[in-house]
Structure 1
């Protein structure tokens, strides 16, 4: 792909007294570019495919800030591998605030981009930040009950003893009891679809900071979490990129929520939940996202 050459900078910003580590991709030779903020999926880190999208956005003249949530990867926060929905949404607020104060991007032209669990966050964040110009929600987690049904009642039951142990650990201030994020079908993991483990592992670079575990206490909060309900409150244009063969975030529920967004645009792909980061599905989705972002950020 032609376009701008890109320089990647290591940056960080404060969130609740901790530090979120991030990359800022700047298009060379573009003064005051608009900026899109990228957030990753469940228990992942920014090294797991976000750089590919960020690089392409920057080549198209849109600066990109890809960050890792607190408690994960090379961001700070104790205990490790703690997935707090409330804290992750606060990290988004901090990322937006950081983008607005930077002198190398246009803080008045900001968009958000989230994938998977981060795609759900992008919907909620967009509903809370009317000043944003646009949002992209990729194969988003929109409904915890739908995702729990995808895991199945037996899979959910397998997790309960560890969840109980971790809730007790939290109450007695001990280290979290961890559960596996992505596992083989039939194993004790949050995601056990046949493509979940290979899908995650395909995204982990050699020197990545990813750990395939998360504090078990998150499981019930995920089941209750329904970020799709915020779609009807999103005032700016929002692009939903939906995978038709999504084993983790069922597409039917996502489509129903996406249709409630007043300025929603929907694109569908003949792909699974983890296919979108690589190969031809990636090429298809990134072209659509660049077109959408360029249009609404006037890049």
Structure 2
């Protein structure tokens, strides 16, 4: 499926996005088609596994705007490869404004879609808004403290201490980089068995395997799950029950607060992407959910 390249501005910086035009009028109202705003998780870029999701949703009749955060992928901005959670939520809001202006879409029927870290961002970006018609949160990271405790169950304390020390050094002095994904025992943000291979399997040409080491400190106070109760739109939360990267218990708690439809999958964090066993089911449930809540009455 073809897509168009567009740009929009967030925080004075030009962000790059792909626009997929929805097929058919099954979900169209008199005002136009619903439009999905989509972004990736930790250090992810839109060319790293998002296109199959976007194409499936466009085939179901939704426009899709998939974008890169400031400092990542094809978007502008400095510093590069540094995660600011507040800035990324602001990027979502700017992308929502851009999506509402696309030709043929209904600006009052925005759909927020996020995976992993972005699965939490969509809860914050969609809270208290009447122009958001649905929210899809996939294997979401919704509680930084819970994620830290979860990581301690799967990592050696020495590895956690090493990355934390580098993060503190990056925060108080010159920026220090580390790999996003690495092998067990190596320095990196994600070093569980299989993470390196899983991430490289979806990585696109704009993705870089490096991230500001201060990301762990940034995540410490991250609690977007608390915003779920402020959503005014139907919410779908898709939980990987054996998720070693984003604690499934925290996702379930946020889902309950947001009165969500919940789908569970007996898999790990990366098993929702194209080529993995559970991708087709995850996409099918998204299409079913969005068709149900967005079909004009």
What's the TM-score, normalizing by structure 1? 0.91
Structure 1 SS opposite 2:189: strand
The residue number in structure 2 matching 1:41 is: 41
Q: Is the 8 A contact 1:151 1:193 kept in 2?
A: no
Counterparts of 1:87 and 1:149 in 2: how far apart (Å)? 25
1:274 paired residue among 251, 270, 273: 270
Counterparts of 2:196 and 2:149 in 1: how far apart (Å)? 18
Q: Is the 8 A contact 1:177 1:215 kept in 2?
A: yes
Give the Å deviation of 1:289: 0.2
Question: Does residue 235 of structure 2 align to residue 241 of structure 1?
Answer: no
Q: Is the 8 A contact 1:43 1:81 kept in 2?
A: yes
Deviates more, 1:91-100 or 1:210-219: 210-219
Counterparts of 1:89 and 1:139 in 2: how far apart (Å)? 17
Counterparts of 1:154 and 1:253 in 2: how far apart (Å)? 25
Give the Å deviation of 1:103: 2.3
Q: Is the 8 A contact 2:136 2:235 kept in 1?
A: yes
**1:93-133 CA-partner distances (Å, limit 9, x unpaired):** 10111111222322121110000001010111121433200
Which 4+ residue blocks in structure 1 deviate beyond 4 angstroms?
Answer: 28-31
The residue number in structure 2 matching 1:18 is: 13
Give the Å deviation of 1:11: 1.0
The within-5 A match list for 1:133-148 is 133-148=133-148
Query: How many residue pairs get matched?
Result: 286
Give the Å deviation of 1:154: 3.2
The residue number in structure 1 matching 2:150 is: 150
Question: Does residue 283 of structure 2 align to residue 286 of structure 1?
Answer: yes
Structure 1 SS opposite 2:169: helix
2:294 paired residue among 290, 293, 297: 297
Give the Å deviation of 1:29: 5.3
Counterparts of 1:198 and 1:126 in 2: how far apart (Å)? 33
The residue number in structure 2 matching 1:73 is: 73
The residue number in structure 1 matching 2:214 is: 217
The residue number in structure 2 matching 1:82 is: 82
**1:28-83 CA-partner distances (Å, limit 9, x unpaired):** 55573211111101001001111100001111111111111000011000111111
The residue number in structure 1 matching 2:226 is: 229
Structure 1 SS opposite 2:168: helix
Structure 1 SS opposite 2:236: strand
Counterparts of 1:180 and 1:128 in 2: how far apart (Å)? 36
**1:180-216 CA-partner distances (Å, limit 9, x unpaired):** 21121222222222132111111013xx111111112
Question: Does residue 161 of structure 2 align to residue 162 of structure 1?
Answer: no
RMSD between aligned alpha carbons?
1.6
What's the TM-score, normalizing by structure 2? 0.91
Deviates more, 1:80-89 or 1:289-298: 289-298
